[in-house]
């Protein structure tokens, strides 16, 4: 009996190895380091300064709330356990500071402004765009199936813009039925400077995405659908999308992926893999504003972990 061909791991698939394994191994170890400390500037800004407005003044600064929510996401803690965890850290360090209670974390977490902490390389940005679903609330897949779908379940869609080094430079959390191509336009609009390239899968194969990327000076690498046809307008025959369609028909889809560098789209997929492996595949917040803040804070955490060390993969000669 002839051996079956693997569609997931074909023979022509390029193999890679990590060339900086020693330093990358140390970076992975540092990600699990639980050594915690408070910088002097963090201690000085832990309590909120007076706003000068009438009414009750906030007790904790945005930095204190962000610190507590960051620890909650990293260690997968409920709100009340987060309160106790932060209080124990302050006590062990001998700091005369109060920990935000769980109700304050829930309330302040709805309007927190989070910086993605993206460390970009110099030069134009090579943008990779993709999306994936996150469970929003409910009992979980197993419990819902066992008990006949009891409980309320829902999904949200997380859209990420990633550069070639794996850093998340743009993100957006939308409803599960949001259009990927329309959301990509918003991601592109949030970025400053020129784009060197835009790489995405077939869900983003629309003329509006091509136009938005070309206006920013980007080369578009998006595989056309199998039913894609050239534009009916003669003036549009030289458009980037029509050129892609013509090239795919000329050399085949597999060869086009190799020569266009479409394989770099795996960087965006890997970002989702790291997100769901490290932080989980569900959103803990219950209200929509808190979910938006939680997703952005999670992306900021991943960027800080990525900054500790990245693998340098090189192709192995066949």
Q: Do 85 and 138 lie in a common domain?
A: no
Structure tokens at 122: 């110099």
* Strand 313-315 relative to strand 16-18, pairing: antiparallel
Q: How far apart are CA 214 and CA 211, in angstroms?
A: 5
Residues 205 and 92 in one domain: no
- Residue 61 is assigned to a structural domain of this protein: yes
Amino acid 149: pLDDT: 58
Per-residue confidence of the chain (318 residues) as pLDDT tens digits? 455 555 555 666 677 788 888 888 888 888 777 776 777 888 889 998 887 788 778 899 999 999 999 999 999 999 999 999 999 989 988 889 999 999 999 999 999 999 998 877 777 899 999 999 998 875 555 666 666 655 556 889 999 999 988 899 999 999 999 999 999 999 999 998 889 999 999 999 988 999 999 999 899 999 998 888 887 766 655 688 888 888 999 999 989 998 999 988 999 999 999 999 999 999 988 889 999 999 999 999 999 988 888 777 777 765
SS3 278: helix
User: Do residues 137 and 260 both lie within one domain?
Assistant: yes
Q: Does residue 114 lie in a domain region?
A: no
Q: In this predicted model, what pLDDT tens digit does every residue of 89-109 receive, in sequence order?
A: 899 888 899 999 999 999 999
Condensed to tens digits (0 to 9), the pLDDT of residues 255-289 reads: 999 899 998 899 999 999 999 999 999 998 888 99
261 and 160 in one domain?
yes
Element (H, E) at 304: helix 288-308
Q: How many other β-carbons are positioned within 10 Å of the β-carbon of residue 240?
A: 17
d(CA 248, CA 236): 17
Distances from the Cα of 64 to the Cα of 44, 59, 97, 104, 285, angstroms: 11, 10, 11, 11, 18
Distance CA 212, CA 228 (A): 20
Please indicate, yes or no, if residue 51 is contained in any of the structural domains: yes
Q: Which residue has the tokens 């080094």?
A: 165
Q: Tell me if 43 is assigned to some domain.
A: yes
Contacts of 78 (CB under 8 A, 6+ apart): 72, 284
- CATH number at 163 reads 3.30.420
Residue 160: name the closest of 152, 151, 169 by CA: 169
Tokens representing residue 85 in the block: 């965890």
Q: Rounded CA gap, 297 and 162, in Å?
A: 16
Residue 5 inside a domain? The answer is no
Q: Are residues 227 and 262 in the same domain?
A: yes
Q: Is residue 83 part of a domain?
A: yes
| pLDDT value of position 24 | 83
Domain that holds residue 159: 125-284
On whether both 256 and 140 belong to a single domain, the answer is yes
One domain for residues 129 and 100: no
108, 143, 178 - which closes a domain: 108
Which parts of 109-252 fold into alpha helices (H)?
A: 141-146, 180-189, 207-215, 240-251
How far apart are the C-alpha atoms of 129 and 265, rounded to whole Å?
Answer: 8
Distance CA 178, CA 199 (A): 20
Q: Are residues 232 and 145 in the same domain?
A: yes
- Within-domain flag for 113: no
What tokens were used for 98?
Answer: 């109060």
Cβ count near 67 (within 10 Å): 20
Query: Domain ends where: 108, 136, 151?
Result: 108
- Identify whether residues 153 and 279 lie together within a single domain: yes
* Strand ranges in the chain using DSSP code E only, listed in sequence order: 16-18, 125-137, 154-162, 168-175, 195-199, 219-221, 313-315
Instruction: Please say whether the beta carbons of 101 and 86 come within 8 A.
Output: no
**CA nearest 35: which of 93, 120, 87, 80?**
93
Are 180 and 154 members of one domain? yes
In a domain, 55, yes or no: yes
CA 161 to chain centre: 7
The number of folded domains in the chain is: 2
Beta bridge partners of 174: 157
Q: What was the pLDDT predicted at 167?
A: 92
**Cβ-based burial of 17 (10 A; exposed 0-12, middle 13-18, buried ≥19):** exposed
- Residues 202, 84, single domain; the answer is no
Answer yes or no: do 148 and 248 share one domain.
yes
- Contact in structure between 85 and 73 (CB atoms under 8 Å): no
């Amino acid at each position: 009996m002839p051996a079956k061909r693997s569609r997931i791991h074909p023979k022509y698939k390029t193999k890679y190895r990590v060339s900086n394994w020693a330093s990358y191994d140390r970076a992975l170890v540092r990600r699990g380091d639980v050594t915690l400390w408070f910088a002097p500037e963090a201690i000085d800004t832990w309590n909120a300064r007076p706003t000068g407005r009438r009414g009750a003044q906030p007790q904790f600064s945005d930095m204190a709330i962000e610190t507590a929510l960051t620890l909650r996401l990293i260690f997968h803690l409920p709100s009340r356990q987060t309160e106790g965890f932060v209080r124990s850290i302050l006590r062990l360090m001998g700091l005369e500071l109060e920990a935000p209670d769980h109700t304050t974390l829930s309330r302040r977490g709805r309007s927190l402004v989070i910086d993605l902490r993206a460390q970009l390389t110099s030069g134009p940005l090579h943008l990779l765009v993709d999306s994936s679903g996150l469970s929003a609330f409910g009992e979980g897949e197993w419990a819902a199936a066992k008990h006949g779908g009891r409980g309320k379940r829902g999904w949200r869609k997380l859209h990420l813009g990633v550069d070639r080094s794996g850093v998340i430079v743009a993100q957006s959390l939308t409803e599960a039925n949001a259009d990927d191509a329309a959301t990509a336009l918003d991601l592109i609009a949030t970025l400053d400077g020129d784009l060197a390239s835009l790489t995405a899968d077939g869900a983003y194969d629309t003329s509006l995405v091509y136009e938005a990327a070309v206006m920013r000076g980007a080369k578009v690498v998006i595989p056309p659908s199998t039913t894609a046809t050239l534009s009916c307008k003669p003036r549009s025959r030289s458009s980037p999308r029509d050129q892609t369609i013509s090239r795919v028909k000329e050399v085949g889809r597999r060869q086009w992926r190799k020569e266009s560098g479409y394989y770099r789209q795996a960087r965006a997929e890997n970002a989702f893999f790291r997100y769901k492996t490290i932080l989980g595949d569900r959103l803990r917040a219950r209200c929509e504003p808190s979910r938006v803040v939680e997703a952005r804070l999670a992306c900021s955490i991943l960027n800080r972990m990525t900054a500790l060390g990245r693998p340098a993969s090189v192709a192995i000669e066949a």
